[in-house]
Amino acid sequence: MHLYNKQHIKIYNSLSGEKELFTPISEGYVGMYVCGPTVYSNVHLGNVRTFMSFDVIFRYLKHLGYKVRFVRNITDAGHLENDADVGEDRIAKKARLEEIEPMEVVQRYTVDFHNILNKFNFLPPSIEPTATGHIIEQIEIIKNILDKGLAYEVNGSVYFDVLKYNETKPYGILSKRNVEDLMHNSRELDGQSDKKNPQDFALWKKAEPQHIMRWPSPWSDGFPGWHLECTAMSTKYLGEQFDIHGGGMDLKFPHHECEIAQAEASNGKAPVNYWMHANMLIMNGKKMAKSTGNFILPTEIFTGDNPHITKSFSPSVARFFMLQAHYRSILDFTNNGLLASEKGFFRLMDAINALDDLKSAGTSTFDIKEWQQKCYDAMNDDFNSPILIANLFEAVKFINQIKEGTASLSQDDLDLLKSTIHTFVFDVLGLVNVKESENGTDKLSGAVELLIQLRQEARANKDFGMSDKIRDELAAAGIQLNDGKEGTTFTTN
Ligand code: AMP
Ligand code: ZN
């Protein structure tokens, strides 16, 4: 019997605005699509947060025994500046500025994305398709929508006819907007005059002569609209109807709304049963975003090299920090928040490290099965990782009480406690057991290490005046250098 027959998940479906019992289309199988990054720059911690929410969901579904096909794409064409239908392609722009090929931009930032996700111990998705690898599929969908009369061609570009579509299917069902409001609120931007209505969106854009990312099509040499790639890739790998589609909250409109309309127009079916949206990571009270400069890069967390933090943090601590918030809550990035998570993380790891030395007893003073079910209940309730973590801290309490001799567990219960903790901490939350000593260095240590190195160089150059000055000035600041056989270390008073 699979665990999923016993543990029933409820998912908050953005489409209905309610938590719904999760029933996959085919028993035992889950198809999940998550919008991937646009690879024109390094991913920031906000992007990582959204991907991490779905990494944990993927891990939990797998743990329950589902066979999950998890598709997360790479957007390597079609995503224009300002998420609009006019402007430069983000990747082409970067290529122009750096005087390199667009595919060099794509390669560089795809590699960076993978490196960062590996550092955070992500599981790779089952398929990671690219937009440029699916131009033919995108053209086929456009032909289909044109055949249905729900798109129109103007000057080599093809637009989705939102008003026409809205005559039979509601446009705006996901983001709860209606077309009348959209018409009043849409501004006519320069260059959009080809559209019949400003809320129509591009399925295919004719490339301007300077636009280097271009492909032949029946309408023009051009490129697909941003929303189309996800419809093409999700349909190709998961079918016309699949279980879960995820992404950040900011993609709900227009991106996901347009995905629904394209798929409905092309296949006549609602593509997704459960729409899931992860909430934003904010910093200084504003959304973390590349465009505004209000962001922190994961590598800056690992090195401590950013004015928002006072020290470096290991990827597992940063991961723990993010999972202490529910994926649908806004999370505020602060140094104090990270410091508090760091303490909690090492308390949890210390307890896990102590598990192997715990001695069993004849009887148990805790109901471990009940505690284990509480861990499942937390994850079954729309993947509530903060409640799961609170339950894990309950276990930390028992472990410490057993160590102190004020509580006991039978051998079977002790085994169950160990295996459950390992499952949830390492397999489901994806944390890695790092020791406190491996958790990076604080900024002071980094600076002193640099001065120690400079002093060694000064000594090697026989500049004893400089080497003494470094030692004395540090001593005056309360930092003593101790020269030993193994090199120089320091202590602070
Ligand atoms: P992009 O590369 O801009 O398409 O973004 C990749 C993913 O990161 C999308 O799912 C976005 O919704 C998500 N995202 C962007 N900014 C944030 C943020 N500040 N917090 C959480 N997720 C974000
Ligand atoms: Zn998408």
pLDDT tens track for 242-272: 999 999 999 999 999 999 999 999 999 999 9
pLDDT at 300 over 50: yes
Percentage of the chain beyond pLDDT 70 is 95
pLDDT at 486: 62
Question: What residue's CA is closest to ligand 1, atom 9?
Answer: 248
Distance CA 301, CA 281 (A): 15
What's the pLDDT band for 35 if we cut at 50, 70, 90? very high
Phi first, then psi: what are they for 103, rounded to 5°? -70, -20
Nearest to 253 by CA among 234, 274, 225, 277: 277
Structural contact between residues 279 and 395, judged by C-beta atoms closer than 8 angstroms: no
Known binding-site positions for Zn(2+): 35, 230, 255, 259
**Helix, strand or coil, per DSSP, at residue 331:** strand
Task: State whether the beta carbon of 225 lies less than 6 angstroms from ligand 1.
Answer: no
Q: In the structure, what pLDDT confidence band is assigned to residue 456 with cuts at 50, 70 and 90? A: confident
pLDDT at 116 over 90: yes
Min mean pLDDT across 59-68, 228-237, 357-366, 436-445 is at 436-445
Ligand nearest to the CA of 33: 2
Please report which ligand is nearest the Cα atom of 248: 1
Minimum-distance ligand 1 atom for the alpha carbon of 282: 19
Q: Is the CB of 252 under 6 A from ligand 1?
A: no
174 Cα to the center of ligand 2, angstroms: 14
Looking at residue 492, its pLDDT comes to 62
**479 pLDDT band (50/70/90 cuts)?**
confident
Contact indicator for 318, 301 with CB cutoff of 8 Å: yes
The finding on whether 250 has its CB within 6 A of some atom of ligand 1 is yes
* 227, 249, 250: residue to mutate for ligand 1 pocket, most atoms within 8 A of CB: 250
- 289: pLDDT strictly greater than 80: yes
Query: Looking at the predicted structure, is the pLDDT value of residue 51 above 80?
Result: yes
- Over range 322-326, report the average pLDDT: 98
Phi, psi of 362 (to 5 degrees): -70, -35
Binding region for ATP? 290
Domain topology for 282-437: Isoleucyl-tRNA Synthetase; Domain 1 (1.10.730)
Q: Answer whether 491's CB lies under 8 Å from 482's CB.
A: yes
Q: What is the pLDDT of residues 140-160, one digit of tens each?
A: 999 999 999 999 999 999 999
- Establish whether the linkage from the previous residue to 254 is cis, with ω within 30° of 0: yes
Calculate mean pLDDT across residues 290-307. Answer: 95
Q: Which ligand is nearest to the CA of 129?
A: 2
Which ligand lies nearest the alpha carbon of 328? 1
Tokens of 183: 């018409």
Q: Which atom of ligand 1 is nearest to the CA of 79?
A: 4
**Rounded distance, CA 212 to CA 271, Å?**
32
Q: Residue 37: name the closest of 96, 122, 97, 98 by CA.
A: 122
Question: Which residue, by CA, sits nearest to atom 11 of ligand 1?
Answer: 248
- Please give the Cα distance from 245 to 234 (Å, whole number): 9
Residue positions forming the annotated binding site = 35, 230, 255, 259, 290
Greater confidence, 184 or 127?
127
Q: Tell me the longest C-alpha to C-alpha distance in the chain.
A: 85
Express as a percent the part of the chain with pLDDT over 90: 78
Least reliable range by pLDDT among 121-135, 182-196, 365-379: 182-196
Structure letter (DSSP) for residue 484: E
pLDDT, tens only, 397-440:
999 999 999 999 999 999 999 999 999 999 999 999 987 766 65
Say how many Å lie between the CA of residue 422 and the centre of ligand 1. Answer: 30
Domain range list for the chain: 3-278, 282-437, 441-492
Could you please state the CATH topology (level 3) that the domain comprising 3-278 is classified under.
Answer: Rossmann fold (3.40.50)
What's the pLDDT at 181?
A: 77
Q: Is the CB of 420 inside a 6 Å radius of any atom of ligand 1?
A: no
What is the rounded CA–CA span in Å between residue 440 and residue 108?
Answer: 26
Q: What is the dihedral of CA 225, 227, 229, 231, to 10 degrees?
A: -130
Residue owning the nearest CA to atom 18 of ligand 1: 46
Residue 368's SS3 state is helix
Kindly state the tokens that stand for 80.
Answer: 């224009």
Least confident of 88-97, 126-135, 350-359: 88-97
**Average pLDDT over the chain, rounded to whole?**
93
Residue 226: closest CA among 251, 248, 191: 251
Mean pLDDT value across residues 473-488: 78
Q: Residue 24 corresponds to which tokens in the numbers above?
A: 């996959």
pLDDT of residue 473: 86
Q: Is the pLDDT of residue 173 over 50?
A: yes
For residues 144, 148, 153 and 159, what is the CA-based torsion angle, rounded to 10 degrees? -80
| Atom 5 of ligand 1, residue of closest alpha carbon | 37
Ligand 1 atom with least separation from CA of 287: 19
pLDDT of residue 77: 87
Question: pLDDT class for 190, splitting at 50, 70, 90?
Answer: very low
User: Best mutation site among 50, 57, 110, 253 for ligand 1, i.e. most ligand atoms within 8 A of its Cβ?
Assistant: 50
Is 247 close to ligand 1, i.e. is its CB under 6 Å away? yes
The residue whose C-alpha atom lies closest to atom 15 belonging to ligand 1 is: 47
